[in-house]
């Protein structure tokens, strides 16, 4: 994910697509030691970095006893993101993403990734409050205000 | 029913191309704007049809079997009711009504009259048919989630849209302007329709966000140019939608149109442009058409008649049984069977979208069905 993350970040930084406003991130990942909630936290940290915005509300959907999870996120500037992860057996992970800017768009179609592909990004830390917000939304089955999670902390 | 600068520009062509149909007349309500009368008359002239100014007169004629209803969003519900009560089969532009009350009234009129009805949708397009086949053949296993993106790459985005969360009116009354539409409704309806049809499941809860990202026209009229829906369907199937208008230069073709299907066996992607052939030549690069102030968002074919279409991506799908949505509707009438996207389905789409506005306003989940007052 390191190179894809960087490539997109560099394109955003050129200003070609304008201000990023929406990300649709769909990932099929092969099983690993990482829990699906942590993988979702990692992806939302990545989308937040691209959008250069702090989330204010998150709604996470998950069907019990399945390896699929979906999050819809609103950010402080009105930006939005939808991230969906499925853990499936297979040899390769696959990332399908679309990022809309206010004067252009980026598309990365879901080709199979390199066998050594990992979701890790160097030096990127997943905030604890983000994981807590994901878990809380899952627990109550409703959208969660990030500020409420921070207040509880 | 209604002419230029409505989707009748497309639907009339579909009906005209079906050998079982003959176009009879263009009509509308009597009490409409001078501009609408002029657009209707011009359309009638272009199609070599008479214009009947009062729809009541048209509905009395027994040589009319089908009414293609393309009145503006705000009045199409009552028009559809009138046509169904006159025992005419109705082909309905999407979304078919502006309120749950109007949508229920259309369903009631259709079902009590026993006429056929159909709301325009993408369900007969090859990529959607392939998705349906994949679900029915159990290719993805038990269905867990479905994610649908339909957006139109039209309009001229502005970089001057302020970045802040949008306040949504929970019960909007006006949906269309010359220069903008509520895009959650106008575009999101395709995805909601596809998801219901593909899954055979009803939407049980809706979480929605509406935003202004791209266009000063939408901002000025306080209507969203982008919307996001996160829904739960029967059997706890998760569904998400992103919908909107994103600007001419934001996509190599007409805009993203795709559905991801997630099941216990894996994920499959179905895309309106995949498989495709990509063509690169020494022809000049495509540039957006010069803005037409009568239709700055490029809603209608008639206002951009002589402009060149994007032609780099050429989809390569198998031919489907029905080259357009109308052919299937006429089959349903001939066979006296209900359309798979009937007025009842159209009403369900309207309910999801109206729940979306309430959700976006309250920033909370709305559960369906919405109680009728």
One DSSP character per residue, B206-257 reads EEEEEE--S-HHHHHTT--SEEEEEEEEGGG-EEEEEEEE--GGGSSSS--E
Give Cα separations from B365 to A72, B10, B206, B337, B368 (angstroms). 12, 36, 6, 36, 10
Q: What confidence score (pLDDT) does residue A115 get?
A: 65
Q: What confidence score (pLDDT) does residue A109 get?
A: 85
Q: In degrees rounded to 5, what are phi and psi of residue A108?
A: -130, 105
Give B33-91 pLDDT, tens digit per residue: 999 999 999 999 999 999 999 999 999 999 999 999 999 999 999 999 999 999 999 99
CB contact under 8 A, B365 and A98: no
Task: Identify the CATH number of the domain in which residue A38 sits.
Answer: 3.30.360.10
Q: Judging by DSSP bridges, how do beta strands B26-27 and A80-87 pair with one another?
A: unpaired
Residue B316's domain comprises 126-321+353-362
Residue B369 falls inside a structural domain: no
Task: Identify the CATH number of the domain in which residue B292 sits.
Answer: 3.30.360.10
Q: What confidence score (pLDDT) does residue A134 get?
A: 97
CB contact under 8 A, A84 and B166: no
| Strand ranges of the sheet holding B89-92, from the earlier edge strand across to the other edge | B66-69, B89-92, B117-119
Domain co-membership, B147 together with B222: yes
Torsion of CA B257, B188, A48, B161, to 10 degrees: 110
Mean pLDDT by 10 residues, chain B (373 residues): 96 96 98 96 98 98 97 94 98 96 98 98 96 96 97 94 93 94 97 98 98 96 98 97 97 97 93 96 92 92 90 92 92 97 98 98 97 84
CB contact under 8 A, B144 and A78: no
Quick count: other Cβ atoms within 10 Å of Cβ B18?
A: 16
Distance CA B165, CA A56 (A): 10
Q: Which residue of A has its CA nearest to B232?
A: A61
Residues of chain A contacting B, Cβ within 8 Å: 18-19, 21-22, 24, 26, 28, 56-57, 59, 61-64, 66, 68, 70, 72, 74, 76-80, 82, 84, 86, 88, 90, 94, 96, 98, 100, 102-105, 107, 110, 142-143
Of residues B208, B209, B261, B264, the one with CA closest to residue B231: B208
Task: Identify the CATH number of the domain in which residue B334 sits.
Answer: 3.40.50.720
Of residues A53, A65, A68, A43, the one with CA closest to residue A118: A43
Domain co-membership, B159 together with B74: no
Structure tokens at B67: 């009414």
Q: How many domains does chain A have?
A: 1
Domain co-membership, B87 together with B23: yes
Identify the three-state secondary structure at position B149. Answer: strand
Residue B271 falls inside a structural domain: yes
DSSP assignment letter at B138:
T
Residue B348 falls inside a structural domain: no
Residue B288 falls inside a structural domain: yes
Q: How would residue A116 be classed by pLDDT, with cut points 50, 70 and 90?
A: low
Give Cα separations from B120 to B114, B245, B367 (angstroms). 19, 19, 26
Domain co-membership, B54 together with B148: no
Structure tokens at A6: 């960087």
Q: Percent of chain A, pLDDT > 70?
A: 97
Domain co-membership, B14 together with B79: yes
**Which tops the pLDDT comparison, A1 or B155?**
B155
Domain co-membership, B130 together with B184: yes
- Give the predicted TM-score (pTM) of the model: 0.96
> Contact, B265 vs B212, CB < 8 A?
no
Domain co-membership, B50 together with B185: no
Q: What confidence score (pLDDT) does residue A2 get?
A: 80
Residue B258 falls inside a structural domain: yes
Q: Please say if the pLDDT value at position A120 is more than 80.
A: no
Residues near B185 by beta carbon (within 8 Å), at least 6 away in sequence? B73, B95, B175, B353
Q: What confidence score (pLDDT) does residue B98 get?
A: 93
Q: What confidence score (pLDDT) does residue A31 get?
A: 79
Q: How many domains does chain B have?
A: 2
State the ipTM, two decimals: 0.95
Residue A15's domain comprises 2-152
């Amino acid at each position: 994910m390191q190179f894809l993350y960087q490539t997109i970040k560099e394109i955003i930084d050129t200003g070609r697509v304008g201000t990023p406003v929406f990300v649709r991130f769909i990932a099929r990942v092969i099983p690993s030691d990482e829990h699906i909630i942590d993988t979702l936290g990692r992806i939302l940290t990545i989308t937040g970095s691209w959008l250069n915005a702090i989330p204010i509300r998150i709604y996470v959907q998950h069907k019990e006893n399945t390896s699929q999870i979906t999050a819809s996120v609103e950010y402080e500037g009105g930006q939005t993101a939808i991230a969906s992860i499925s853990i499936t057996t297979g040899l390769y992970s696959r990332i399908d993403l679309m990022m809309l800017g206010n004067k252009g768009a980026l598309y990365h179609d879901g080709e199979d990734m390199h066998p050594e592909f990992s979701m890790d990004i160097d030096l990127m830390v997943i905030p604890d409050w983000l994981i807590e917000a994901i878990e809380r939304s899952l627990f109550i089955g409703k959208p969660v205000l990030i500020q409420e999670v921070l207040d509880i902390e | 029913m209604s002419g230029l600068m409505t989707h009748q520009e497309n639907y009339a062509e579909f009906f005209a191309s079906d050998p079982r149909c003959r176009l009879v007349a263009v009509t509308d309500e009597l009490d409409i704007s001078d501009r609408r009368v002029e657009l209707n008359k011009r359309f009638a002239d272009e199609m070599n049809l008479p214009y009947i100014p009062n729809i009541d007169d048209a509905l009395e004629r027994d040589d009319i079997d089908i009414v293609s209803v393309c009145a503006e969003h705000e009045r199409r519900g009552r028009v559809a009711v009138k046509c169904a009560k006159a025992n005419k089969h109705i082909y309905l532009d999407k979304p078919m009504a502006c309120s749950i009350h109007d949508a229920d009234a259309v369903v009631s009129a259709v079902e009590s009259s026993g006429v056929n009805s159909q709301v325009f949708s993408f369900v007969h397009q090859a990529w959607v048919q392939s998705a349906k086949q994949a679900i029915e053949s159990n290719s993805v296993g038990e269905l867990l989630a479905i994610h649908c993106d339909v957006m139109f790459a039209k309009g001229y985005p502005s970089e001057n849209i302020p970045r802040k969360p949008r306040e949504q009116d929970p019960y909007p009354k006006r949906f269309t302007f010359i220069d903008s539409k509520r895009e959650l409704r106008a575009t999101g309806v395709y995805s909601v329709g596809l998801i219901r049809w593909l899954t055979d499941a009803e939407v049980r809860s809706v979480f929605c966000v509406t935003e202004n990202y791209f266009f000063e026209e939408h901002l000025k009229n306080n209507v969203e140019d982008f919307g996001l829906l996160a829904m739960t369907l029967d059997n706890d199937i998760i569904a998400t939608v992103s919908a909107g208008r994103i600007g001419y230069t934001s996509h190599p073709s007409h805009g993203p149109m795709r559905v991801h299907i997630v099941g216990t066996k894996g994920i499959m992607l179905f895309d309106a442009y995949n498989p495709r052939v990509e063509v690169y030549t020494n022809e000049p690069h495509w540039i957006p058409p010069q803005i037409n102030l009568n239709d700055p968002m490029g809603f209608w074919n008639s206002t951009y008649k002589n402009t060149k279409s994007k032609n780099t991506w050429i989809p390569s799908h198998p031919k489907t049984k029905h080259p357009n949505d109308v052919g299937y509707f006429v089959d349903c009438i001939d066979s006296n069977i209900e359309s798979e996207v009937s007025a009842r389905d159209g009403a369900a789409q309207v309910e999801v979208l109206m729940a979306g506005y309430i959700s976006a306003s309250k920033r909370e989940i709305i559960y369906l069905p919405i109680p009728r007052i």
